[in-house]
Amino acid sequence: MRVDDDRTRVMGARIRHFRSRAGLTLADLAEQLGTTASTLSLVENGKRAVRAPEMPGIAAALGVDVVDLLSEDPPDARSALELELARLQSGPQFGALGVPAVRISRTLPHDALAALVRTLQELDRKALEATATPEEARRANTELRRWMRGQDNHLPAIEAAAEEIVAVAGHEVGALTHREVALMAEHLGFRLLHVDDLPRSTRTITDLEQGRIYLPPSSIPGGNGLRSMALQAMAHRVLDHTPPSSYEEFLRQRLEIAYFAACCLMPERQATDFLTDAKQRRDLAVEDFRDAFGVTHEQAALRMTNLLTAHHGVRVHFLRVGADGEIHKAYENDDLPIPTDVTGAVEGQIVCRKWVARRAGHRGNRTTENHQYTDTVGGTFWSSTQTGSGPHGAFSITFGVGFDDAKWFRGRATRQRQVSTCPDESCCTRPPAGLADRWAEAAWPSARMHTQVLAALPSGRFPGVDDTEVFEFLERHAAMD
Ligand SMILES: [Zn+2]
């Protein structure tokens, strides 16, 4: 609707532009076209659309080609401002003001027009900022996650765009090198520059005019974070992104650039070949895939969610969980019962204590993955978890599948098995009765404030305090005395 309105306005402006260039009045042109001046005026003001059969006649009368009418560019700077004002005045932000719209005419002074456009653009931008509240962000995020689930987390158009650019760099197998990333950037007309004074609120900045992508300095020589960051910056150009007009669009662009970077680092054909081979040998493992492409465990696990359903028919789950059991990121299309809040958001929800995503943290072994079968209310699942630690604390990365698909994975023979009855509180959120009887009256913990803003607080008598952990702690230490 909006797009059609914009097109109608641009075409009207182009017709007026060509008419005055041809030295014709409204009445002159109307007569030639066998219509009235008032109808033609509606067309020029973007209030009436030109139908396709009318176009050749209009173009001929103006001495231009039909393609000149169809161009989506405003005919000149003045028209560009007028069109932008018309667009802004027809938008919801302006409507909400209850201020009468300014009549757009040639008599409106240029500087007043420019100031008005700038002011209304700023109003739109402020409104966009204001809608990006945590609630709005969560809602938009949930929508996007549901949409991706419907696509089996696979976006063929971005896969194809990445494949094309990776071929330009001559990349064949293994890890994409910094040199190849630089070649890809060069092909797109960019130079990669490392600087140490990027604003705190930015990861990268692209100078579209000078063709430069500014990246932070490489803190770890050869660290692969920068390849991904450079690829994400380039992706905005490759994927034809324009400044986002809503928070949803902002999130979708973020998802798309991350997806594009993953496609470049683990190209579809090479990655699929690798996974096909491993699956045939019944030896699929995130760690092997990770090492073959020189990426992080998280990048590898996420990439497997992009490919395993679409190309290998295996439905999967992925979780990134923090030290307190809070979900940072989650994806499933295998029906793993991931906890959600009432809005359907998963971020900050606490996963079951019985899941390997939380149990792996206690083992402290990061050289290999931890495997486990978990019986849940949604069926039995096999999962593989790797733990790590970052600037925001410890976390675990879990990748898994339903019981029937475990046979393709290394670690399927694990004897580790847990029963989870979550969301039933007696599963793991309510302290065991024996411990509660023993310690409820005697325990007085002091809560540590959470850094994860989105994290839901464990419920207990003290907000933010996990009673079970407190009671177990007291029990352990009481036994030592
Ligand atoms: Zn549980």
Phi, psi of 183 (to 5 degrees): -65, -40
- Long-range interactions of 269-272: CB distance < 8 A, separation 24+: 269/163, 270/172, 270/173, 271/303, 271/307, 272/307, 272/311, 272/312
What does the pLDDT read at residue 215?
86
Helices marked H in 198-321 = 225-238, 247-265, 268-280, 286-293, 297-312
Tens digit of each residue's pLDDT (9 = 90 or more) over 312-339:
999 999 999 998 899 999 999 999 999 9
What does the pLDDT read at residue 348?
86
375 C-alpha to center of ligand 1: Å? 11
Q: What is the DSSP string of 350-391?
A: BPPTTSHHHHGGGT---SS-EEEEEEETTEEEEEEEEEEEET
339 C-alpha to center of ligand 1: Å? 10
33 C-alpha to center of ligand 1: Å? 75
What does the pLDDT read at residue 1?
39
State which amino acid sits at residue 163.
E
Tens digit of each residue's pLDDT (9 = 90 or more) over 102-123:
988 888 999 999 999 999 988 8
CA dihedral 223, 227, 233, 239 (to 10 degrees): -150
What does the pLDDT read at residue 362?
56
pLDDT along the chain (481 residues), means of 10: 71 91 92 91 89 90 89 87 88 82 88 92 77 74 92 96 91 85 93 84 83 79 74 92 84 94 95 97 96 94 97 97 91 95 86 90 63 96 91 89 97 94 87 89 77 53 74 81 63
- For residues 16 and 38, give the distance between their C-alpha atoms in angstroms, rounded to a whole number: 13
286 C-alpha to center of ligand 1: Å? 25
Q: What is the pTM of this model?
A: 0.69
**Residue 199, number of CB atoms within 10 A of its CB:** 6
DSSP type of residue 50: P
323 C-alpha to center of ligand 1: Å? 16
State which amino acid sits at residue 292.
A
290 C-alpha to center of ligand 1: Å? 30
What does the pLDDT read at residue 472?
83
- Tell me which residues have their CB within 5 A of the ion that is ligand 1: 352, 420, 422, 427-428
259 C-alpha to center of ligand 1: Å? 32
State which amino acid sits at residue 15.
I
408 C-alpha to center of ligand 1: Å? 27
What does the pLDDT read at residue 458?
57
426 C-alpha to center of ligand 1: Å? 8
